[in-house]
Structure 1
């Protein structure tokens, strides 16, 4: 056997310099994990850094003073974001109402996608007759709160009823005796259009829902919550100092009140909450969807367990089934908050300046801070931007983007670069969605 030797000329000075140029802007990090493993990231300078942040967060703004971003820097298919949001402006008698909503999906993104696309119109259809009936008089705040609550419950009921209608009545009447192969053929119908698959996926998956309404005169704010997204009101006193008010409590297994509620509804079931998760699986305690934690367990092991999807963790689902004794374990009953807003008076008094909505990914970026400290930080960031860029000034700043930038590292360009460009196959930050509504 003849061995061929290839001769290479020594690298020139220019070759060495070019090689150094190629790696100069790269660094490595342990992602604050403290272990031996290192990941490479690219150090970006301005304006490239802000441009990359904008590309990954898709900032949007509305004429009514709402800014939004939604962010997941890991670009792998399995790490695609399950967050969704909706912003709508509803012209009605008396002026334009503003709707905003953040929906943090879990298990899949199908339920949050459905909620973001369909719930706003569902609520509007319920609300509009009440507004028209009120005429020139402002509607009663309690009646609006009731409409919002009922719309959320009805929407969740609709998700589950659409799924149940996939199954023939004969199946539902004797579900535990139905041949699983018949169910698999029925619900895994992507080759036939996928309607049964999608209804099953939307019911099995779930989403939190944080929803707000403001009236045309910006005198009233309604906030409705299912799950662990957060609403924060930023207010400014007569001296110009900003302060933060947490509007809603979080519905998850870390909230002792929620744990007590679930245990009281399921006495004698120690695993109804396990490791701060519903049935040892789900962190949010209230949500849209999650039908497998709301319907009898037969639906889980006969139907949901047979869906063909890359997002289902069959082993985890099987482990939970013996714990599902007396459903429902996840609630669709929202908390509703009404707040009378303080507009500018011209006399220098306190005013409510803006509202922040966010999914729990933003909270995770401020890990270690109390909820109030976290809210104070957020309001400080937005308040400084508003003071520096009042509404109507040229080159309006996207306030949601400003808050996301602070969460990712602020003025620390290396830290922000790391959080944007680190080369990891798994997600290194949770899905993060921020909606900021100016009230001034």
Structure 2
């Protein structure tokens, strides 16, 4: 539940709201008109049943049915009888089979085989992708239920024309939702259309290659346009003639929020464009001449703990000294996000949404009394462009993009080192992947507020043929199999105290 999520030690949101502060149940909607329709419907049952056929009426009588008629959407005044269907009967469960005992039978924890199956459940590998990308791997592991992460990958036509495989750009993205899964799930299908439209608008009139700055601005425009369509349309939605249920569904993604990390690769120029909001992260691993792997940051974490973000926000709100505290913007950890309307709407609009459209009671008025109007967070991404060397130059490279569930467990340098060593083993042959070996004694397993899942180099293991799964396993304990079993033994909501949703994609620009 949201209230449970909010009081945990390391979620994106912090609020003083607890169960005892929850509002009283709201009264159900009622009206005189609906009462009249209900009464008249009851009167019509006998008449309509007879008109539908004596057989149907007799069946209703014999079966003791008391279904009310329903109103046709095409003709509100036409009363129709429901279809009569025979339900398959099931025998009354015999509870004697449960036995008589005072012993509790618990659900078994995951076995080592279960662990491997769970880590590989959502993995994928795409080989021979367009644009000279040799291969990319992906994987996802949920902690929330349902998972609040999402991802997207694929190719699309070059926004600046051309023909052949090299004219198609590649795209990879990960989305980390909060206050629900609704927005991250929507971004899987809705972000790219906005991006492609913005890139098309950036196309030079003389059909020459678009300037790097034009592509970066197009990415910023696409994020901002999508966010405006979600957040700024709230007033128009509630003032429209749409049915209440339709309004509620359209407001849902804006109540939620999501960090978004999008990477675009142009194979002709070999430029990698990265647009980022929030604390998902993209890093590049490149092999130097001495054989070592070099780590290059392609994005910056945008949170209330980032010095440049703190400076930006405080400069924007000089009269609100408490706007950023404890690494959060009025309780919200990311400082740049899509959605999160409660940090962007006016106080008047938020109050109306709370009272009439079940809007979230965030940020907590009890804890953040100095909160004013905002908007305090922005959807404008930070955008970088990096030149990816050709594999022919003898400099293999790879891209890691992941939600903060991975970065909570390891640093960028550790992730690049793990994938780099995995890459070197793969290049030597499949036998280079370590077989399963007897577990070492790494000491007692401790997981909780005192210790969360963390990568330790001494526990590094290389037993997975998928680079994303390889990172995930090592982030949960690696060769310390009991640690990994323990991490996966906890299910939502308890799992949130030791690990977050994890979504990873690893892209290899050189041959594997």
Taking structure 1 as the reference length, the TM-score comes to 0.75
- Given that 1:88 and 1:120 are in contact with CA atoms closer than 8 Å, whether structure 2 keeps it comes out as no
Equivalenced residue count is 363
Q: Which residue of 2 is the match for residue 50 of structure 1?
A: 116
Residues 164-184 of structure 1 deviation map (CA, whole Å, 9 limit, x = unaligned): 2212279xxxxxxxxxxxxxx
Is 1:119 the counterpart of 2:183? The answer is no
Could you tell me which runs of 5 or more consecutive residues in structure 2 were left unpaired when the two chains were aligned.
Answer: 1-102, 130-134, 434-463
Separation of aligned partners in 2, 1:307 and 1:249: 35
- Preserved CA contact (<8 Å) 2:143 2:500: no
Alignment match of 1:388 (pick from 411, 418, 425): 425
1:234 alignment counterpart: 285
Query: Which residue does the alignment assign to 2:65?
Result: none
Report the counterpart of residue 449 of structure 2 in structure 1: none
Alignment of 1:8-407 (within 5 A): 42=109, 44-45=111-112, 47-55=113-121, 58-63=122-127, 64=129, 65-73=135-143, 79-92=145-158, 93-94=162-163, 95-128=167-200, 130=202, 135=207, 138-168=209-239, 189=244, 194-217=245-268, 219-279=270-330, 281-304=331-354, 306-308=356-358, 312=360, 314=361, 317-319=364-366, 322-346=369-393, 348=394, 351=395, 353-366=397-410, 374-390=411-427, 397-407=465-475
| CA deviations over 1:218-253 (Å, ceiling 9, x no partner) | 710101111111111001012221121112221111
Q: State the structure with more CA Rg.
A: 2
Q: CA RMSD in A?
A: 3.1
Deviation, structure 1 residue 431: 1.2
Distance 1:227 1:213 in 2: 18
- The runs of 5 or more residues in structure 1 that have no matched partner are 1-18, 27-39, 171-185, 367-373
8 Å CA contact retained: 2:235, 2:349: no
3-state secondary structure, aligned to 2:267: coil
Residue deviations 1:140-188 (CA, integer Å, cap 9, x gap)? 2222111111111111111123322212279xxxxxxxxxxxxxxx89x
The structure with the greater share of residues assigned to helix is: 1
1:439 counterpart residue number? 509
**1:42 match: secondary structure:** coil
